[in-house]
Amino acid sequence: MAITVVGSVAYDSIETPAGRKDRCLGGAATYFSLAASFFTDVRVIAVVGEDFGPDQEAVFHARGIDTRGIERAPGKSFFWEGSYLDNLNEAKTHATELNVFASFEPKIPEAYRDSDFLFLANIDPVLQRRVREQMPGVRLVAGDTMNYWIKDHRAALLEVLKGLDILLINDTEARMLADNNNLVQASRAVLALGPRTLVVKHGEYGATAFFSNRSFSPEGEYAEHMFRAPALPLEEVVDPTGAGDSFAGGFFGYLASSAAADDLNPAAFRRAMFYGSVMGSFAVERFGTERLQQLSRKQIDERFILFRELTHLD
Ligand code: AMP
């Protein structure tokens, strides 16, 4: 089951207690596709500027990711600058320059049309919606967003939420979206906006899935319930950038992988939550996409076992 993803492909300048990196390859769609590529075929839709070169594109190709949907436009690529000096769990944004994304008209390559899974990674909700509308036949749609869009692009975001099966956001964003500080109440309010399942990421504390009674069947034969996956306690977090997108890539990539896609049941979702946590835990070990670029499937499976041991009772 192939995944098509739309979202930012960017240059990031990042400062963390471990140091600083300027203009490294980043973007929500970049982290998502690298993480998901360990599980299934991934196809990207994005736009980049003249500053995006063969070295950046090679990062995608080394993982077998289809980049035919990455358009090149005159101008500069999306640029984001952020730091984590006070709190490793939450980025402080210093600059967001949409650049070529400001006038992007997403087009879906013919070769992407048979994708069963669609991921609307973090980007302008207007673009997320345009891609969603052009892929009406997909089996499962998940998406992400962030405070930047929740605050100032709310109406467009609410339209996107109506068409989502699964929304993945962090806890600050869930509270902001619902305007409610209690996470359980906030999750119920967010589920009422459209998504059948909500996955709330808690940075170094793991992630919680809130399943509505529509999560696994439109008839609502499963009761609403919650499931929490841990994060791995790490000696050093070098750079939290992309942890959320890597979580999403592991989570959705696992769901799309053939073993899970036949049977999207609660057990498959629980395993997907663990694979999400595994991929997030790798992403933060080095700056930018470095760790995901060097990873092997064997290391992923070994860490999955470690996660199991971390929480297994008997
Ligand atoms: P996260 O997984 O939440 O740490 O996402 C980090 C990535 O999101 C960075 O590589 C940024 O390039 C990208 N990003 C930051 N702000 C935005 C935005 N407003 N829209 C889309 N992508 C963004």
pLDDT tens-digit profile, the chain (314 residues): 999 999 999 999 999 999 999 999 999 999 999 999 999 999 999 999 999 999 999 999 999 999 999 999 999 999 999 999 989 988 999 999 999 999 999 999 999 999 999 999 999 999 999 999 999 999 999 999 999 999 999 999 999 999 999 999 999 999 999 999 999 999 999 999 999 999 999 999 999 999 999 898 777 778 899 999 999 999 999 999 999 999 999 999 999 997 666 678 889 999 999 999 999 999 999 999 999 999 999 999 999 999 999 988 88
Q: Residue 300 Cα, ligand 1 centroid: separation in angstroms? A: 24
Q: How far apart are alpha carbons 60 and 50 in whole angstroms?
A: 17
To test the ligand 1 pocket, which listed residue (146, 150, 173, 251) has its Cβ within 8 A of the most ligand atoms? Answer: 146
Question: In 17-124, which residue ranges form alpha helices assigned H by DSSP?
Answer: 28-36, 54-61
Q: Residue 48 Cα, ligand 1 centroid: separation in angstroms? A: 15
* CATH at residue 237: 3.40.1190.20
Domains in the chain, number: 1
Residue with tokens 């471990």: 18
Question: What's the pTM?
Answer: 0.97
> Does the beta carbon of 131 lie inside 6 Å of ligand 1?
no
The reported pLDDT for the residue numbered 262 is 65
Q: Which among 125, 190, 194 has a CA at the least distance from the CA of 156?
A: 125
The reported pLDDT for the residue numbered 258 is 72
| Domain range enclosing 44 | 3-310
Tokens (6 digits) for 36:
């998901």
The reported pLDDT for the residue numbered 193 is 97
- How many other β-carbons are positioned within 10 Å of the β-carbon of residue 279? 32
To test the ligand 1 pocket, which listed residue (80, 148, 246) has its Cβ within 8 A of the most ligand atoms? Answer: 80
Residue with tokens 């899974």: 117
Q: Which amino acid is at 290?
A: E
Q: Which helix (H) or strand (E) holds 83?
A: strand 78-83
Question: In 10-61, which residue ranges form alpha helices assigned H by DSSP?
Answer: 28-36, 54-61
